[in-house]
A and B are shown apart, each in its own frame.
Chain A
């Protein structure tokens, strides 16, 4: 093509048109790949290991999508107070917040977080790829809608000193004292609550306690008594929101917990999250229970050198008289909810999907301190390569998530109910209330609270 030919108006126009079309097409393609480019997502999360572990992914996400993610990591109280102020003022400051099960119903009821079912449906994301518990903890309402993205599914695994339980001298001494073999709990053959008390009593010595679990404040006071009430067949309230605590099964649960208290350190009534770890790692607890990471760390030679390799994993004890063949643990963890006032809900969902629903990234997140919510992560060989003792842990953990966990009571004034139950339990533990008085008093107070929302 000589200069004159190119200079012809027709040729020049056609060339320009082609160039424009090409650039428009590539621009459109780019826009389709990066539909939310320039959006800024602000996340309000708790300051802890699992949120630290996803920070390294943010730059990669930004480079890939053009979406900027800001993460604010705060303590529970600071995050909750700030979040509530932002919600009340409807600022839309947070796009994603950590949704704790204790306050889930309150926030949903107030219309502060967004239902996610439509986003799951639009994205074609298969909810079955997640652990059922990780989805269940974020469900609420008569339609079981999903209100938060799976982020952390957890429960209390029972831990016991396998070395002591298998020690021939200890076994002989136990048989001699109680007239039956020292039971070694498994998922197929858990201990009964009576056996549990005997074992706790047996191992309570000068330098060791039979059992310990944090019971301080509203959160842990409630987390301690609630699963015992379930285990004995009781509930806080029924489907019609009437209290059901004035019940012999609840009395039995209070009675059991009071007896167990004799074999626990005195300070447990003030213990909060993780306060039992030092004693566990010092080898001064024969049995305890803890969230998943506590269970895994207990056998880690770097975290708990004194007892690493000696910790066995077990389901909770069950109460044969309750008619149930297993005990219960509280479903813990929570999800990442998209706020109702978020200006970028789709971009927020894109981030959650990109990180937590991608097998490769979810595994990397887990291996660097995150949590596991995708089923495939639990089965990945890298997990057992990294933590060999996980081979013992995960079968028990999965069994608990699938069989013994229950969502804690979730109503808009859950926290007030938890306050009553924690206070009532503390009064029983301090010897101020008999189990019968405790059940009757808690029943009346919880029913008064439920009356407000019936």
Chain B
């Protein structure tokens, strides 16, 4: 019996190796993967396809039965729409600054807490608190407790040193600064956790060897740790870009896109265009542009960032 099982396993392995699969192999694969594929199609593929298709229509949310196929007119309109272009620019600034800042801060925190010290687990737990808070709640706290112009903590502290603080949320560019601060505060713990986990598994002997070779701390970080964590860093950057480029709650609650559209990012633009002004097709065209732009950027980062690693490990 046991020898028959082993023989079947050998046959299956041989078929897989040579690219030939039996009907039962396909059935087994379908049983395992099928439900996941169906779920993925329902929650990810269908809405994406629908968004792309609807972006080719002059389609109004409040009159869904009246739609006209307009080919790529919505896309043509987008690139002459100053409000859309402004939103794209704000999204670029917001995402770039936020991703860079969280990567630097998260990595530094992970490096700082790498060595064992008393109460390390408590510090770790405290550092992750922002991430587990509801974005809407934490944004409201920042808005009313910290950034409020008249009774906020920041302006009170500034007044102690004789500085008249601005109306942070109501002025430019301070409004953009506030949403960046909240997002950096909110997302740095994520980067910290990923980098901390990566550093935990980092081979100590490599660092010891570098130390013996005379490398100081920053040289070890710069020439040993960061290059060896490149795959983790690339993955984290990509993940962070996809989160920040689609950020909605923090901005909606903190500034609502104002003042004068100075903090209106693309997600907010899509929301306003499709759900407030009912230009469903046009709004979705903006959403598709955002999706394609983020996808291409992430692909490029992956291509450039992981190239050396693939060549080294020969896994590509």
Pair B260/A270 contact, Cβ less than 8 Å: no
Residues in chain B near residue A427, CB distance under 8 A: 260
Interface members, chain B 135-149 (any A CB < 8 Å): 148-149
Pair B150/A88 contact, Cβ less than 8 Å: no
Task: Give the complex CA separation of A427 and B170 in angstroms.
Answer: 12
Residues in chain A near residue B175, CB distance under 8 A: 270
Does A410 make an interface contact (CB < 8 A)?
A: no
Instruction: Give min CB distance, A208 to chain B, whole Å.
Output: 11
Task: Give the complex CA separation of A271 and B170 in angstroms.
Answer: 8
Number of interface residues of A (CB under 8 A): 34
Pair B62/A267 contact, Cβ less than 8 Å: no
Pair B167/A88 contact, Cβ less than 8 Å: no
CB-contact partner of B166 in A87, A266, A271, A419, under 8 A: A266
Pair A84/B62 contact, Cβ less than 8 Å: yes
Most buried by B among A279, A416, A432: A416
Instruction: Give min CB distance, B145 to chain A, whole Å.
Output: 13
Does B266 make an interface contact (CB < 8 A)?
A: no
Pair B167/A270 contact, Cβ less than 8 Å: yes
Does B270 make an interface contact (CB < 8 A)?
A: no
Interface members, chain A 408-454 (any B CB < 8 Å): 413, 415-416, 419, 423, 426-427, 429-430, 432
Known: A109-B62, A112-B62. A279 touches B260 (CB 8 A): no
Residues in chain A near residue B259, CB distance under 8 A: 216, 269-270, 426, 429-430
Interface members, chain B 157-171 (any A CB < 8 Å): 166-167, 169-171
Pair B277/A430 contact, Cβ less than 8 Å: no
Task: Give the complex CA separation of A227 and B180 in angstroms.
Answer: 35
Q: Per-position contact with B for A135-168: 1 when CB-CB < 8 Å, else 0? A: 0000000000000000000000000000000000
Interface of B toward A, CB cutoff 8 Å = 61-64, 148-151, 166-167, 169-172, 175, 255-261, 272, 275-278
Residues in chain B near residue A81, CB distance under 8 A: 275
Known: A426-B259, A430-B172. A266 touches B63 (CB 8 A): no
Instruction: Give min CB distance, B141 to chain A, whole Å.
Output: 16
Q: Per-position contact with B for A213-225: 1 when CB-CB < 8 Å, else 0? A: 0001110010000
Chain A residue nearest to B178 (CB atoms) is A270
Does A265 make an interface contact (CB < 8 A)?
A: yes
Pair B261/A216 contact, Cβ less than 8 Å: no
Known: A81-B275, A419-B272, A430-B259. A266 touches B62 (CB 8 A): no
Does A107 make an interface contact (CB < 8 A)?
A: yes
Interface members, chain A 212-256 (any B CB < 8 Å): 216-218, 221
Chain A residue nearest to B149 (CB atoms) is A267
Residues in chain B near residue A87, CB distance under 8 A: 62
Q: Per-position contact with B for A80-99: 1 when CB-CB < 8 Å, else 0? A: 11001001100000000000
Known: A268-B170, A270-B255. A279 touches B62 (CB 8 A): no
Pair A270/B62 contact, Cβ less than 8 Å: no
Task: Give the complex CA separation of A87 and B149 in angstroms.
Answer: 41
Closest 4 CB pairs of A and B: A266-B167, A426-B260, A267-B149, A270-B170
Pair B277/A267 contact, Cβ less than 8 Å: no
Pair B150/A267 contact, Cβ less than 8 Å: yes
Instruction: Give min CB distance, A132 to chain B, whole Å.
Output: 29
9 chain-A/chain-B pairs, Cβ below 8 angstroms: A84-B62, A110-B63, A218-B276, A267-B169, A270-B167, A419-B277, A423-B261, A430-B259, A432-B260
Known: A267-B148, A269-B171, A415-B277. A110 touches B62 (CB 8 A): yes
Does A73 make an interface contact (CB < 8 A)?
A: no
Residues in chain A near residue B276, CB distance under 8 A: 218, 415
Pair B170/A266 contact, Cβ less than 8 Å: yes
Pair A270/B258 contact, Cβ less than 8 Å: yes
Pair B258/A216 contact, Cβ less than 8 Å: yes
Pair A423/B260 contact, Cβ less than 8 Å: yes
Residues in chain B near residue A110, CB distance under 8 A: 62-63
CB-contact partner of B275 in A84, A266, A279, A429, under 8 A: A84
Most buried by B among A88, A266, A429: A266
